[in-house]
Amino acid sequence: MSHIQIKNLKKSYVDKRRVARSGKPDAASQEIVVLDDINLEFEEGEMVCILGPSGCGKSTMLRMIAGFDQPTSGEVLINGEPIDGPRADNIFVFQHSGLLPWMTVWENVELGLRHLEDKEEKDKTIQEYITMVELTGFEHHYPHQLSGGMQRRAELARAIAVNPDTLIMDEPFSGLDFLTHMKVREEVVNMHEYIKKTTLIVTHDIDDALIMGDRVIVMSGRPSHVKLEKKLNFGRPRDLARNHELSELREEIFFMLGISYAV
Amino acid sequence: MFRKKITFPLITFLGVLILWELITRFSGWSHQVFPSPLAVLISMQELVINGELLKQSVASLFRVTIGFFLAVILGIPLGIILGRLEIAKLLFNPLVQFLRPISPLAWIPLAMLWFGIGDQPAIFLIFLSSFFPMVVSTSVAVETIKPTFFQVAANFNFSRYDVITKIVIPAITPEVITALRLTITIAWLVVVAAEMIAVQSGLGYMILDSRNALRMDYVMVGMIVIGIIGLFLDFMMRALGNIESTAWGRLSK
């Protein structure tokens, strides 16, 4: 059985303002379908990158997998059980910082380890993950005292410190400058090699998806459905320019997303 | 940098003093009506030495402290409840919004009837003046907490108690500190007015009493001291904002 299964997932909402303007009392005719009949499976330990035009509902899908949002119909199963809400083995990494700004890096990483009774063991674990993301020396800094890239790394440390079964990342590199983007991306890849947990990443960057993913999924515009699913059986690090298969796939996805030639 | 911060305001104050002196000399008003800066300074010295000024200042500060403190310890929790619980908001928010624009001074007749003359009616008025702004600012601050923070809390299995202590309270602290600053100023404005009517002591009473004795120099001393204490109160509240874990509120917005 797959780790995560998405079955006939549909998400829609009614735009109340539009209903009022149209003057029709029939709300169903004004229903906006975001996701329509999505069926996907994610294997244990797999890193899957999800691409799609902006506003296509890929973030909405992630939020439903995290339990923040309920499907209109269909279901999301983790190990065969439907999700009933957010939980600590299913960690969401937010698009813009999800760090709590009134807590230091140390206190943020501690959030998922509050249940540990043994203070020594807890401190050791916190330090271990802070060291892993190379934030040694910044343990007692507040998020606003860190650069954008360091904030992302701190959030990564917090996410993996709980030893979750699934990591869900919503555009984890958005808003970072080019070099920082590369660096944090490398960090995520290394982290995944190391912990081997199911990792779902929504991105709008085709190169990110091709370089990182064990599999790439392309979604269409609204109402969104799965347009392409492709296994990427390539070793890492990957070089898009030299790998013929990947660069062809890249061009294909560009075309699929409505750009007639790859840049 | 530091020097500019000190010297520039001093220049302004000096300018006001000179203007004041010029008016007393050339306006033709009698010194009874418009005492000179020097006359006021001498009167101030007199009031400091005989202990009158300290006594009245302490009386006013005592009332403000009690009234403001009560308003804060009741207003912040009520604000949090209104911001978090839909039902509480539906029940109480209209009442709060209705009572809020009624000037505390309009309560003076009732306050005097209920509590007589003395500290109690003044404290009651200060409480009223501070309570509603604290409730409203706190509830607005709670409502505008980024939803992300609550999602993080849910993701990391926070209990309801943890959500209040680890998310809500720290998240609203920067806004609450701003509200404290604005509110203590209102409380300080109201105590002077309340003391002119409801009590026989305090800086407000001193000003009124001096007017009745036609001692405008004492009136001016009272005003200056009120200004200085007001500055000091604001400074104290502002110092709260320097706590390190609240710095994000100033920097990341």
Q: What is the pLDDT of residue A29?
A: 61
β A90-93/A81-82 pair status: unpaired
Give every CB contact of residue B173 below 8 A, 6+ residues apart in sequence.
A102, B245, B246, B249
DSSP state of A14: E
Q: Which of A113, A190, A197, A104 is nearest to A151 (CA)?
A: A104
Q: Could you report the per-residue pLDDT of B70-90, keeping only the tens digit for each?
A: 999 999 999 999 999 999 999
**Residue in B137, B212, B217, B129 with CA at minimum distance from that of residue B177:** B137
Give the per-residue pLDDT at B253.
Answer: 44
Q: For residue A219, list its beta bridge partners.
A: A226
Quote the percentage of chain B above a pLDDT of 90.
Answer: 75
The 10 Å Cβ neighbour count of residue B142 is 22
- State the best of A102, A113, A140, A147 to mutate against chain B, taking most chain B CBs within 10 Å: A102
Query: Are B155 and A87 inside 8 Å of each other by CB?
Result: yes
Report the percentage of chain B scoring pLDDT > 70.
98
How far CA B89 is from CA of B93, B96, B137, B139, B169, in Å, comes to 5, 10, 14, 9, 18
Question: Tokens for A166?
Answer: 């699934």
**Closest alpha carbon within chain A to B247:** A102
Chain B hits for A105, Cβ within 8 Å: none
Q: Mean pLDDT across the stretch B214-243? A: 90
CB A5 within 8 A of CB A41: yes
Across the beta sheet with A90-93, the strand order is A90-93, A166-170, A198-202, A47-51, A215-219, A226-231
Is the pLDDT assigned to residue A27 strictly greater than 60? no
Angle between helices B52-84 and B169-197 (to 10 degrees): 140
Locate the domains of chain A by residue range: 1-89+165-263, 96-163
Buried b (16+ CB within 10 A) or exposed e, B69-92: ebbbeebbebbbbbbbeeeebeeb
Pairing mode, strands A215-219 and A226-231: antiparallel
On the question of pLDDT at A262 being above 60, the answer is no
Q: Which residues contact A115 (CB under 8 A, 6 or more apart)?
A: none
3-state SS record for chain B? CHHHHHHHHHHHHHHHHHHHHHHHHHCCCCCCCCCCHHHHHHHHHHHHHCCHHHHHHHHHHHHHHHHHHHHHHHHHHHHHHHHHCHHHHHHHHHHHHHHCCCCHHHHHHHHHHHHCCCHHHHHHHHHHHHHHHHHHHHHHHHHCCCHHHHHHHHHCCCCHHHHHHHHHHHHHHHHHHHHHHHHHHHHHHHHHHHHHHCCCCCHHHHHHHHHHCCCHHHHHHHHHHHHHHHHHHHHHHHHHCCCHHHHHHHHCC
Which chain A positions have a beta carbon within 8 Å of B251's beta carbon? 144
Give the pLDDT of residue A249. 85
Right CATH for B36-244 from 2.30.30.100, 3.10.150.10, 1.10.3720.10, 1.20.120.1200? 1.10.3720.10
pLDDT of residue A14: 80
Identify the H or E element spanning A47: strand A47-51
Query: Pick from A85, A98, A114: which is nearest to B152 by CB?
Result: A98
Chain A partners within 8 Å of B163 (Cβ)? none
Q: CB of A91 within 8 A of CB of A166?
A: yes
* Residues on chain B bordering chain A, Cβ-to-Cβ distance under 8 angstroms: 148-149, 151-152, 154-157, 166-167, 170-171, 173, 244-248, 251-252
Chain A nearest-CA residue for B156: A88
Q: H-helix or E-strand containing A81?
A: strand A81-82
Span of A78-92, A100-114, A240-254, B74-88 with lowest mean pLDDT: A240-254
> What is the Cα–Cα distance from B132 to B99, expressed in whole angstroms?
8
Q: How far is A157 from chain B (nearest CA, A)?
A: 14
Residue boundaries of the structural domains of chain B:
36-244
Pairing of strands A47-51, A198-202: parallel
Q: Which of A23-32, A136-145, A196-205, A235-244 is predicted least confidently? A: A23-32
Contact A164, A133 (CB under 8 A): no
Q: Are residues A200 and A42 in contact, defined by beta-carbon separation less than 8 angstroms?
A: yes
HSE, CB side, 13 Å, CA atoms: give it for residue A110. 17
Q: What is the pLDDT of residues B182-207, one digit of tens each?
A: 999 999 999 999 998 888 899 999 99
- Nearest chain B CA: its distance from A103 CA (Å): 7
Average pLDDT (A218-245) is 84
The 10s digit of each residue's pLDDT in B18-66 is: 999 999 888 888 888 889 999 999 999 999 999 999 999 999 999 999 9
The band of A21, judged by pLDDT with boundaries at 50, 70 and 90, is: low
Interface test with A, best of B156, B176, B245 (most A CBs within 10 A): B156
Contact A102 B248 (CB under 8 A): yes
Domain A1-89+165-263 belongs to what topology?
A: Rossmann fold (3.40.50)
What pLDDT score was predicted for residue A19? 63
Q: Is residue A209 within 8 Å of A49, Cβ to Cβ? A: yes
